[in-house]
Each structure stands twice: as structure tokens, then as C-alpha cells.
Structure 1
Amino acid sequence: MSGPEFVIASIREPELLDQWARGIAERTGWQRITIDGPIAIFVSVSCPFIAESTAPTHAVLGSAFARHGPLERCAELDAKTAQDLHAGSVTMLMKNYWGAFLAICPRGDGLLVTRDPSAAMPCLYMPNSGGILMASSIAAMTRAGIPRPSVAMDNVAHCLFRADLPSPQTALEGIEELAPGTSLHIDANGSKVVPAWSPWDHVMINSAVTFEDHVEQLRRAVQNTAVAWAGTAGSILVGISGGLDSSILATCLRRSTPPALCATLATKDAEGDERHFARKICDHLGMQLVEAHYDLADICLDRPVRPHMPRPTGRIIAQGYNAAVSRIASEHGITAFMTGNGGDNVFGFSQSAGAIADRLLHEGLSSAVWHTSKDVCQLTGCSLRQAWQAALRTLRRPRKYRWRPNRRFLSRDALAHLDATALTHPWLDAPDGALPGKAAHIASLLRIQRHLDGSGQLGDVAVINPLMSQPVLEACLAIPSWMWCRNGQNRSVAREAFRDMMPPSITDRVSKGGPDGFGTQILEHFRETMRERLLDGALARHGIVDRSALEQRLNDAKPNWGADQVRILELLEAEAWIGHWQSH
């Protein structure tokens, strides 16, 4: 069973809209949702939706949950929210509901199409003669009869340069993406994107709200969202590393019905083998654990990790993880895979002095600032002098977060063009009085989006990332940066929220493992093939990569890959993605 799919045609000419609607219906066989306005909406059988039964004026595609009430997917909206949508506003919807959805409602003589902030419900769109065509994926577009787009190589270069900064621009000609938390307003004059949700609206430093208050609010938000998602999921597999974030998720699912199964993957080197920690949390919670290893046999340089995405995303290394999870899911009849992805980002993980700068700006020079200074020193291992020097440098810079591009292995000609482009995003535009540590927190939320966007399906298994749900985002945004590093521990509020549910070896764990050792295996095993792909591939032919710099790096007989490993694996993914789109 595939994930939720939809196609929407918004065309003002009635005859042309009718023509498109008939064609989409014939090609897809999907259900049509009829609402007022120049629009035709089609959804697959796996796409839940909410629409009024009589004289419908609006629709919500995907999964929507009420903020207050039963922890289950809604079949209808409350009267006030429905009335608000009828009037062309999504304010009440964003306030009273959360999930993975796309909302369509009238706005004046046009339409408003809104994507929720979680990045879990994709929406691509393209202009068409007389209107706009939207869909959940390129596959949905082509199934509906929309011609398959070609690769835009200049945009591929932008993707590699932007270093995970989200952009509506895709790497396919004529295709744009509606960003999470934004609306597409369509009327007779065309279309424009307008904000529907901003993280800055939820940054509220209230001295009356204590650390303990935030602990309770965060615990409730995480538990409720995890339980709500579990109610839609069926048979659940939980990805467990034994780290804090995935362990927190496991505690929330320990009583799910049917019982959730846990899975952990290990590399051959010690750094990537966290089975000891995974066993500890599963034994503590009484949950069954399945263990597996990364396997080079699962890696194919010709196959992109996410061929369905409208841009190259991720690294080839993820093939190993996905293949192992798919095997476990198949063996155990799993219908949903739930992960702790995004935990570092949402839980304010930081190794900077931003917390000192924030508290100094908010409270002035006080004993509390000295406590935070000591927390940062304990967390990072720096001296008090080094911490304050870093904090003062932060204070001298503009409050707006400066996004740094990834120029590694890009050619001089490509960079001459790319360096002239501004790396912007509405969430990076800090309002007056913004605190730099919180600006960095919000930038971190942006950094994870590209890795979760489009991750909603692994074959027939739904992929769910509960920690990126809107209530969790908003609860975390309200927490001051200095509380996240309290007592010299990163993600301190999250640790405290679940301290009594996990063993101390997990709650207080500070080490972090990872699959970098498997990445090194890939680079060594495929060295010759990799040389050919990167030195004579599409990126080199189009002058995007610095061929000589790559050749020098790949010729190193005993390389210490370091930070280059991640970049080379990204370039291999880009080559595979380009090859996929140019060959189909």
C-alpha cells in the first residue's frame, strides 16, 4: 500500500478544468472531492480527508488531530474551525489542529492551499495553461497525465550549495514545492506564497513559566503526539539507537496495541555499534528488540536513496539502513516505522555559547548568567574565558542567523554563480529583539527538513517522525535556550521530562554513535566505481564539481575521509538521482 497521494487542478476556465478532471479520473481511478470554486481534487484510497457532506467549501487532505480531545485522527472539524476555513482563513485550523495535512479553502475569488508545518505531507505544484496543478509527488503527477519533467542541472548545483537550507525551488524543470507552514494563494492574477505558520510566533520567554513547567508541557506534547500517530499506524516498528531521542519515543509507545517492535542497526566498528544501549532501554521497557547490521550488499551506486524526490536528498549510505528496516518490517508484518529523527533539532541540541548570549540579553548581567556560563563550560569542555569570548562574538553579530553554504568540491565556475545568490528563508528573518540562540534553534529546525521531507514511505511501510509534529515544535520553541543546557547537559528539558521512565545510563548518556564507519566501507569498497562516477559523471560534465580537487582526494591511497566522507556520499547520491531521472 502506497502513502497518501493526491492531485489537484485549479483552473479558472470551466471547460478546461472539466477536461483535466475527466482525464485525471480516467487515469488514476481516484476519488474526487468536490468543493466550491474552480478546482478538482482527487485522492488515492490511502489518503484520508475531511470534507463537508453537503455544499462543501473546503477540504483537509491527510491526517489531522485535534489539540484537545481524543488522541485519534479526526473525521470532521469543529464548527468554529470549519467556519473560519469557509471564510478563507486557516488561523483556527493551525491553532486547533495538527498532523500531516494539506488544507484547501476559498479566499476571495480564489483559493488558498495550506501545508502544515511538520513537513510530513508533501505538496508540489506547477503552473499550467490557465491555472495551477498540484500533487503529492511527481509519480502522482505523471499518473494523472502530467508530462514527466526534466532535470534542471543549475538547480542541482543550488541544492548542493545550499547545505540543507530548504527552498521552494526543486531540481526538476517547472516544479516548485510548497514549503511547510505556508499557503499558496491562487486567484485570477496568478499565484503567490504567503506564510501560514511561523516558529517565531511561538518563541515566548515568560519568566513565570518555570523549568518544571516546560518539562511537563514537553512531556505531554511528545506523549500525546506519539500516541496519536500510533493510533493510525497498525503494527509499529520503532527505530532504536539507544540514544536519547529514540529512547524517548520508545517510552511513549511501550503500551501501544499491538505491542511495538524495536529495531537497531550496527556497523562493524565500535563507534557504530550501539546495541548495548538499545538492549538497555528495551529491557527496561519490556519491548522486543531486533538487531541487524549494515550490509555492503545493499548498496548500489546506480540507485538513489529517494528516487521519488524532486531534488537529490540524503546520502547513499541510507540504502543500507532502509534495506535492513524493510527486511525486518517484511518479516514481522510491520505497517509503520516510527523514528526519533529530528530530536537533536527540536530539543535544542547546541555546542555554542548562544545560551549565554540569550540570557545576558534577556536578564542582564546576573548570577543566573554565571550559572548558564558554567553549564556551557561543562557541556562543551571549554573554559569560562572561552565561553564568554564566544558569547561576546555572538552578541556582536546581527541577530539574524547566517546560513553557511557548502562549497566543498564545487567548481570555481559554479561558485562564481552560486556565491551571488542569497541564502534566505522566511524563518531566518529574525524579528526585532530576537535572541541569537533561539535563531540558531530555528535554523536547526530548517536543517532537518530536507532529510525528513518525502520520507513518509518505505515501500509499503509508512514512515512517521513524531518528534517533528507541530505541538512538539511549539512546546520546544517556547523553551529558552539556557534551559536546554541546564546542569551542563544538552537537551536537558527532554532528559528531565522522561527521566523517571528510562534507566540513568540512557537518560544521562552523552556519547553519540553513528554509521560513519559504514560510510568509510562504502568509499573503500566502491573506490574505482566511485572515481568513474564522480570524475566522469553528470556533475563533472556540467562543470558543477571541481574535478581536479575530487581526483586528488580520491587518489589518496590511505585517506582519512573526515568531513569529506559526507560530501562525497552526497555527490554520489546526486549522480544516482540525476541518472534515475534522465533514464526514465
Structure 2
Amino acid sequence: MSAESFLILVGDDPAAISSLASLAQDRLTNEGWIQRLAFPFLQVFTPADGRLEVTGGLDGHGVLIGEMFDREGRPLTAQERAVCGCRPLDTARAQAVVSELWGRYVLVRRTSGDVAVLRDPSGALEAVSWRRDGVTITTSHPEAAFDPLLPEDLEIDWLAVANLVRRAGEYRHSLPLKGLTPIAAGELRTLGARGSVVEQIWRPAEIYRAARQRERPDLRVVVERAVRALAGDRIWVAEVSGGLDSAIIAGALKQSQREQVSAWVNHYVEQPEGDERQYARPVVEQFGFTLSEVRREKLGLSADRLAQSAGGFRPAINDIDPDYNDDIAMRIAKTGAWGSLTGQGGDAVFFQMPSPLIAFDEIRERGIGARLAVLHRIARWTRRSLWPRAWVSAWRQHRRSRDAWDHPWLEDLRGVPPAKALQISVLSFCQTFQGQAVRSRHGACVNPLLSQPVLEAGLAWSTVDLTWGGRDRAAARSAFQNLLPPALYARRSKGELGAYYGEAVADQLPFLRSYLLDGALAKAGLLDPAMEERLTREALLWRGGYTTILSLALTEAWVRHWQDRLARRQA
């Protein structure tokens, strides 16, 4: 369960909600939850020690869950939040909310017998809805919805599970559970007795298309405003990996906010390519702080540990490194921190990927004015010949990969050049970082570089300008140059943990072979016939594939959890 879990019940009438709400209160109170709102048509529950702000609409027919800011980064007052929760939530209103405000929120509104749910474009809070006995239920975690609240026809969607197995570790918007409706980031979903209507209010492609006619935003101003708003005056545990993105987060904070950080944490391994302390230490030392250095020696895997995060709506791919997450969770609990701050998402927003597709963006956006120097820099960066055949091959491969994309953000890419489309696809995958993990059990896991304003800034910039045609995250480096240690600013490599994880997973093969080959996925016939051969030390150390194996283990844990839960329900 996450510190940002919630359960919202909205009844078609007071009688419909009364019975289910009474059951919910009895059950959840015993598990440390409290009732935050109790209106005739609407009731809200959260953990007593949770991290979510809950504000009911002035008329009792709506609720705002989470944080909301104006475009200057000012948090809304209690009165403004209450007003936001009591206005009709139709398409026009949803568009106004998304264009004028931002944050980490879910907005729910009962109107004309239906229930409208708007999830913020960053997707920071999970939201899944369904109907049961005249009540619309919306929650961030299925453990909040015990069996009498779940749909009667709930079952595992084995086709969706097969898709998860086929592309292990990738984010998929579709749920592997039938009977539930996932709300996409930036989506307005209206549910009622007559069915469900969906509108994608916020689309990355629309941000890009609109930005072509405007002056591009100042990356530094946008990032500093978002980071400072989300950090507030709370205590945090901050990740400092030694990479650019976490350094930008540290630099974007105000000094008074840095003083509220209880630990600046760096995880390292003994392999030189996985030890980034030489880059991480100067990031915090320049501000007068000391780096908390955690040496990693193994990977703690067991059926019990995998089960700890298996109860969500999706396999917990964000929990792929249990030792890291356990360490952060311990620090949050020990120091009383509000949660953790990370730089996750920066690779996508600022464009780290060396791709020849950037050359196609240059040609598409500039036409006959395309600059040969840019194409030459891209060729050097990607180590490709300027001969057209190599570039056409990359474009064709990109077109084939789009067939597997699974997110509402990717359904309308009209006028979007290929590298920008690639960026949007990677941003949709970054929804994984917003997912559950053990580290978010005691506090919020906040990724400021995936906040709506920063997403929009990265989308508004051309991929050519983000990279200067041949340097990963070049525009971001320039924007924060005076806050980055010189060695980190000039750094062209990234930390590499492949050897460490390969060895760590190899050490766990006796457990993993049994767990996977004798598990639910194997019994369902979903594992590759060559999996037994891949689960050998030789294969791991020479051919890699550890991320696939870890992702499959998390998927296996998820399937086992839901098989057990559904079996108990039917007993």
C-alpha cells in the first residue's frame, strides 16, 4: 500500500452509497485508514498517516485529491481547492484546469447522475475506476478495495498478461485485469449506469504542435519553479545518482529547501563503471552537505519480498531493484521525511537518447533550410555514416516499433516528426516511475522532471535544439551549467550497472529458476521455451537479459497474488 493511497465512493443516490460505505469504513478502520469526507453522495478514505491532501467541493458533490498549483507554482488555498471541487467537470472545465493549473492530483465530480474523473497529466497518482451496485469507485490501489467493493466479474486478463510477458518491463496502460477502467494521465473519464465516456484532455503531441508557433519556454525557469513548488517546506530523502538529472534537482532547490533534505543518497557498487561517487559528491558538497554513500553487494530476492509489492493494478516494475527501494523506505521512515525526490524522467524530457531520427526532425521542421552541420553532428554522435541507407533503416525500425506502443498519448501523432514521436513514447514509458514501489509505502516518491510544466517544456523544444544535434541533454546542461560541477557538466558517459545486476541475478538463479519455471506464468504456457536456457549463469553473464528476468519475476508475483485473491473470493 502506498502513502498516497485513496478510495473514493460516489453513489447514484444516498441509499446506494450507504451500504458500501459502511462496509468500507468497518474494514479500512481496522487497517489504519480514516474517513476523510462523508457527504450523502460522496465518501473518501485514506490511510491515517497518508500523504494526500483531500478537499471536498463546497456542495459535497466533488473532491480534489492531492496537490495543485497555479502556473507560477503557488499552491492553491483551501478555498480555491474547495471551489475547484464543486465546479461541473465537463470537457471545457477539464481543459481549463489542465491549462491553468498543474500538480499531483485526481479530481472527481458527481454531475447529472454520472461521475467525472480527471487525472493530472503527469500521472503522479494512479486512478482506476469501476461501477458496483449503483456506486462509482475510484482508487489508487486495489488493496483499498476489498472484495465486496470489487467488480463481480473481475478476472485476470491472460491476453494482457501475455503482452506483459512478451515485452517484459515495458509500461502498458491496459490493465491485466478485466472489469476495471484505468484512467490515463491527462484523461477525463465519465462513468455512470449507462456506460463510460473518455476524452484525452492532455496530449503530448498537441503540446508539441501548439509550441511550434510560440516562443519556447525557458528550461531553467520551468524546472526551478516545478521543483521548488513540489518540494515545499517538507523534509525529503534525495537521490543523487551521479548523473545529470538528479544533479539538476539538487541545483533547482532553494538553499532553505536543501537544508530540509535528511539524506542525499548515492548507491554504488564495486565495479568502476557502477561507482559514480566522484560525480555525486561535488553535487552536494558545493552546497555544504555530505553524501550518504550506500555500497551494494547483492540483490535481495525472495518470494516474500516480491509479494510485498505485488498487490497493485499492474506488476510493480518500479520495484525492480528491491534493495534500493528498501533502503529509501527505511530512510523515509527513520527520518520522518515526507518522501523521496528523484531525477527520474530527465533522460526522456531532456532527450538523452542518441538517435539518428533527430536528423529526420531537422528535415521535417526546417525543410530545405535543414542544416548539414546538424546532420553531421548527429552522424558522429550516433556513429553512423551519412549514407542515406543507414538512416532509412533506422526510420523503418522506428515505424515497426510503433505497432507495440500502448498508451492514449500515442494515438494521435499527426505532424509529429519521428524523434519527437520517440520522445513521447519514452515519456509514456516513464509512467512506470510513477508506479508503486516499496519506497513509496511510507512516503511520496516525487519525480519533478515528470511534472506537467517540465513535460510541456521538454515537448515544446525541438529534439534538435534539446541535443544541439549531437549532445545528450545539451539544452538542460547549458541551462544549469553554473550549478553543475565541471566534471559532471562535461561528462559524456553514464553509469553502467549491467555487470553488477548480471552477477547479482546470477547469484539468485537457484531461487529464480524455481520461482519462474514452476510458477503461474509457466503453467499458463506464457514463458518462452528457451527460458530455462536463459536462466543460467553463462547466459546471464554473456548475453545479459537480467532486466527481463527481474521483470518476469515481478509479473509472476503479481499473477500469484491475484490468483490467490480471486480464489479466496470464490471460496
TM-score, reference length from structure 1: 0.85
* Structure 1 position 445 matched with structure 2 position 448: no
Report the CA distance between 1:508 and its aligned residue.
Answer: 2.2
Q: CA RMSD in A?
A: 3.1
Please tell me whether the aligned partners of residues 102 and 116 of structure 1 are also in contact (alpha carbons under 8 angstroms).
yes
* Structure 1 position 122 matched with structure 2 position 126: yes
Report the CA distance between 1:389 and its aligned residue.
Answer: 3.7
* Structure 1 position 532 matched with structure 2 position 510: no
Please tell me whether the aligned partners of residues 299 and 321 of structure 2 are also in contact (alpha carbons under 8 angstroms).
no
Report the CA distance between 1:285 and its aligned residue.
Answer: 3.0
- Structure-2 separation of matches of 1:153 and 1:335: 38
Report the CA distance between 1:73 and its aligned residue.
Answer: 5.5
Name which of structure 1's ranges 556-565 and 2-11 shifts more when overlaid on structure 2. 556-565
* Structure 1 position 292 matched with structure 2 position 294: yes
Task: Give 1:276's match in structure 2, choosing from 275, 278, 287.
Answer: 278
Cα displacement string for residues 505-553 of structure 1 (whole angstroms, at most 9, x for unaligned residues): 1112111113323322222212222222222221111100023x11222
Q: 1:353 to 1:382 in 2, by over 3 A?
A: same
Cα displacement string for residues 314-366 of structure 1 (whole angstroms, at most 9, x for unaligned residues): 27751111122234445544332100011111112222122211121221133
- Structure-1 separation of matches of 2:211 and 2:563: 53
- Structure-2 separation of matches of 1:203 and 1:173: 34
- Structure-1 separation of matches of 2:332 and 2:198: 39
Report the CA distance between 1:165 and its aligned residue.
Answer: 5.6
Please tell me whether the aligned partners of residues 84 and 90 of structure 1 are also in contact (alpha carbons under 8 angstroms).
no
Q: 1:432 to 1:401 in 2, by over 3 A?
A: farther
Partner of 1:560: 541
Task: Classify the secondary structure of the residue corresponding to 1:384.
Answer: coil
Please tell me whether the aligned partners of residues 326 and 438 of structure 2 are also in contact (alpha carbons under 8 angstroms).
no
Task: Give 1:187's match in structure 2, choosing from 184, 188, 192.
Answer: 192
Task: Give 1:384's match in structure 2, choosing from 386, 403, 427.
Answer: 386
* Structure 1 position 307 matched with structure 2 position 310: yes
Task: Classify the secondary structure of the residue corresponding to 1:488.
Answer: coil
* Equivalent residues in 2 for 1:67-466, closer than 5 Å: 67-68=71-72, 70=74, 72=75, 74-77=77-80, 85=88, 89-142=93-146, 146=150, 151-162=156-167, 166-204=171-209, 214=217, 217-231=218-232, 234-253=234-253, 255-257=255-257, 258-260=259-261, 261-296=263-298, 298-304=300-306, 306-314=309-317, 317-366=320-369, 368-385=370-387, 388-393=388-393, 402-403=401-402, 405=404, 423-455=405-437, 458-466=440-448
Report the CA distance between 1:14 and its aligned residue.
Answer: 4.1
- Structure-1 separation of matches of 2:437 and 2:69: 20
User: Residue type of the partner of 1:155?
Assistant: A
- Structure-2 separation of matches of 1:130 and 1:330: 39
Q: 1:382 to 1:76 in 2, by over 3 A?
A: farther
Please tell me whether the aligned partners of residues 50 and 77 of structure 1 are also in contact (alpha carbons under 8 angstroms).
no
Q: 1:391 to 1:76 in 2, by over 3 A?
A: farther
User: Residue type of the partner of 2:366?
Assistant: E
- Structure-2 separation of matches of 1:272 and 1:207: 40
Please tell me whether the aligned partners of residues 356 and 373 of structure 1 are also in contact (alpha carbons under 8 angstroms).
yes
Task: Classify the secondary structure of the residue corresponding to 1:90.
Answer: helix
User: Residue type of the partner of 1:176?
Assistant: T
Report the CA distance between 1:12 and its aligned residue.
Answer: 2.3
- Structure-1 separation of matches of 2:193 and 2:155: 28
Q: 1:553 to 1:393 in 2, by over 3 A?
A: closer
- Structure-2 separation of matches of 1:581 and 1:316: 18
Please tell me whether the aligned partners of residues 200 and 427 of structure 1 are also in contact (alpha carbons under 8 angstroms).
yes
Please tell me whether the aligned partners of residues 132 and 149 of structure 2 are also in contact (alpha carbons under 8 angstroms).
no
Name which of structure 1's ranges 486-495 and 299-308 shifts more when overlaid on structure 2. 299-308
Quote the sequence identity (%). Answer: 27
- Structure-1 separation of matches of 2:475 and 2:70: 25
TM-score, reference length from structure 2: 0.87
User: Residue type of the partner of 1:8?
Assistant: I
* Structure 1 position 25 matched with structure 2 position 25: yes
Report the CA distance between 1:581 and its aligned residue.
Answer: 3.9
Report the CA distance between 1:94 and its aligned residue.
Answer: 0.8
Task: Classify the secondary structure of the residue corresponding to 2:317.
Answer: coil
Name which of structure 1's ranges 129-138 and 82-91 shifts more when overlaid on structure 2. 82-91
Task: Classify the secondary structure of the residue corresponding to 1:224.
Answer: helix
- Structure-2 separation of matches of 1:506 and 1:562: 30
Name which of structure 1's ranges 314-323 and 261-270 shifts more when overlaid on structure 2. 314-323
- Structure-2 separation of matches of 1:316 and 1:43: 23
Please tell me whether the aligned partners of residues 302 and 576 of structure 1 are also in contact (alpha carbons under 8 angstroms).
no
User: Residue type of the partner of 1:308?
Assistant: G
Q: 1:462 to 1:208 in 2, by over 3 A?
A: closer
Task: Classify the secondary structure of the residue corresponding to 1:311.
Answer: coil
Task: Classify the secondary structure of the residue corresponding to 2:146.
Answer: helix
Q: 1:80 to 1:556 in 2, by over 3 A?
A: closer
Name which of structure 1's ranges 464-473 and 529-538 shifts more when overlaid on structure 2. 529-538
User: Residue type of the partner of 2:450?
Assistant: M
Report the CA distance between 1:151 and its aligned residue.
Answer: 4.5
- Structure-1 separation of matches of 2:145 and 2:85: 29
Q: 1:472 to 1:310 in 2, by over 3 A?
A: same
Please tell me whether the aligned partners of residues 6 and 42 of structure 1 are also in contact (alpha carbons under 8 angstroms).
yes
Report the CA distance between 1:432 and its aligned residue.
Answer: 3.2
Please tell me whether the aligned partners of residues 156 and 562 of structure 2 are also in contact (alpha carbons under 8 angstroms).
yes
Please tell me whether the aligned partners of residues 162 and 526 of structure 2 are also in contact (alpha carbons under 8 angstroms).
yes
Partner of 1:59: 63
Report the CA distance between 1:485 and its aligned residue.
Answer: 1.6
Task: Give 2:460's match in structure 1, choosing from 472, 478, 486.
Answer: 478
Task: Give 2:502's match in structure 1, choosing from 509, 517, 520.
Answer: 520
User: Residue type of the partner of 2:67?
Assistant: S
User: Residue type of the partner of 1:241?
Assistant: S
Q: 1:172 to 1:222 in 2, by over 3 A?
A: same
User: Residue type of the partner of 1:565?
Assistant: Y
Task: Classify the secondary structure of the residue corresponding to 1:28.
Answer: helix
- Structure-2 separation of matches of 1:224 and 1:186: 35
Task: Classify the secondary structure of the residue corresponding to 2:376.
Answer: helix
- Structure-2 separation of matches of 1:81 and 1:331: 36
Report the CA distance between 1:205 and its aligned residue.
Answer: 7.1
Report the CA distance between 1:138 and its aligned residue.
Answer: 1.0
User: Residue type of the partner of 2:199?
Assistant: V
Partner of 1:542: 524
Please tell me whether the aligned partners of residues 484 and 492 of structure 1 are also in contact (alpha carbons under 8 angstroms).
yes
